[in-house]
Amino acid sequence: DVKVTQSSRYLVKRTGEKVFLECVQDMDHENMFWYRQDPGLGLRLIYFSYDVKMKEKGDIPEGYSVSREKKERFSLILESASTNQTSMYLCASSLGGGRDNSPLHFGNGTRLTVT
Amino acid sequence: AQSVTQLGSHVSVSEGALVLLRCNYSSSVPPYLFWYVQYPNQGLQLLLKYTTGATLVKGINGFEAEFKKSETSFHLTKPSAHMSDAAEYFCAVRNQAGTALIFGKGTTLSVSS
């Protein structure tokens, strides 16, 4: 079974802090994703990566950056956290290899509160 | 552009009743469609997917969905609801580039005894 592990279940940070959200997958997947989940808005794609050191902006990249130095690890970075970034963050991975129909496998999420 | 609309943010059924969660999609390419379920304080779990072939797709936990191209729909059904089905359900379509999923806003299913 694919395991996607998000390092923190809950985080509380102050406005202006630099925040790192870490995600690791153990199935040698090519693609990794960061989504943000908010009530009534569903999941919105922040960034994704289809290879090491490669990244693509999703629908809401503003205020975020990502890092993928190793295939199994994908980090989401909030350069200067703001209260409107309080949310549930979900990491996911998939097989990749171009246009494929493999499903996304999700971690359990990190609930970030910015005060 | 691809998009997904889930009709009804909240659906309530009695235990043993039919479950019907509605999903309509918009896609400029042949769609790949997915249903995910999220239990409280957990990530999303794949229920079923449609890519090509048979339009009636069976998934886990007794759920199934039918792809209807003429109606641009991919509704999720289960003949008899169980208390353990209470969760949030998301419909998703693969984006045009084939690189990520676009999700609907979700439907919360409540099951009463």
Find, among B74, B71, B72, the residue nearest to B26 by Cα: B72
A83 pLDDT above the threshold of 90:
yes
| pLDDT tens digits, A2-44 | 699 999 999 999 999 999 999 999 999 999 999 999 998 999 9
Instruction: Tell whether B7 is within 8 A of chain A (Cβ).
Output: no
User: Which residue, chain included where needed, has tokens 């969660």?
Assistant: B21
B-chain residues near A98 (CB < 8 A): 98
By C-alpha distance, the chain B residue nearest A42 is: B105
| pLDDT tens digits, B30-66 | 889 999 999 988 889 999 999 888 999 999 999 999 9
Q: Least CB-CB distance to A40: which of B9, B32, B45?
A: B9
A76-88 mean pLDDT: 97
Instruction: Tell whether A4 is within 8 A of chain B (Cβ).
Output: yes
Asked if the Cβ–Cβ distance from B105 to A48 is below 8 Å, we say: no
Contact between A110 and A9 (Cβ < 8 Å): yes
Interface-testing mutation among B103, B107, B108, with chain A (most A C-beta atoms within 10 A): B103
Asked if the Cβ–Cβ distance from A103 to B49 is below 8 Å, we say: yes
DSSP state of B24: E
Interface-testing mutation among A43, A48, A89, A105, with chain B (most B C-beta atoms within 10 A): A43
Contact between A30 and A12 (Cβ < 8 Å): no
The confidence score (pLDDT) of residue B100 equals 87
Instruction: Tell whether B45 is within 8 A of chain A (Cβ).
Output: yes
Query: Mapping DSSP to helix (H, G, I), strand (E, B) and coil, where does residue A8 land?
Result: coil
Asked if the Cβ–Cβ distance from B100 to A90 is below 8 Å, we say: no
Q: String of b and e for B67-77 (b: at least 16 CB within 10 Å)? A: beeeeebbbbe
